[in-house]
Amino acid sequence: MATKYFKSGKYRNVASGWNWSGTAYFIDPAGAKIRVKYGFWIFSWTTQKKTLNGVDRKKLTVGWKSIFYARMQIKIRESTQVDFITVAKGAPWNSPEIEF
């Protein structure tokens, strides 16, 4: 599990890069918005838009489209630390056994 501090306001990168695959799981903070964004500038597109509710685990996955550059992003109402779990390529793509 990882913990990272994020400022409120606009979307912030949780993870980003070229040609990578992975999955991240989030629960808190309630009301936060998460998404995956591929590409750059006017050549970018957004997928997997989700809103956290503080109860259910939400999952973001990045795959082969990261050849166009990929970013997992979060947007929160108040600056805070966010806990999330990341799973690298090659690991099982189901929910992690670790509870948080």
In a domain? residue 42: yes
Which residue range(s) make up the domain with 33? 2-88
- Residue 10 binned pLDDT confidence (cut-offs 50, 70, 90): very high
Give the domain CATH number at 27.
2.60.120.10
In a domain? residue 34: yes
Predicted local distance difference test score (pLDDT) of residue 67: 85
In a domain? residue 30: yes
Residues 6+ apart with CB under 8 A from 57: 25, 26, 27, 95
Residues 6+ apart with CB under 8 A from 11: 33, 35, 37, 73, 74, 75
- Residue 94 binned pLDDT confidence (cut-offs 50, 70, 90): very low
- Residue 98 above 80 pLDDT? no
Predicted local distance difference test score (pLDDT) of residue 97: 52
In a domain? residue 69: yes
User: Which of the pair, 6 or 2, is modelled with greater confidence?
Assistant: 6
Summarize pLDDT for 40-72 with one digit per residue, the tens.
Answer: 888 999 999 999 999 999 999 998 888 889 999
Number of folded domains that form the chain: 1
In a domain? residue 51: yes
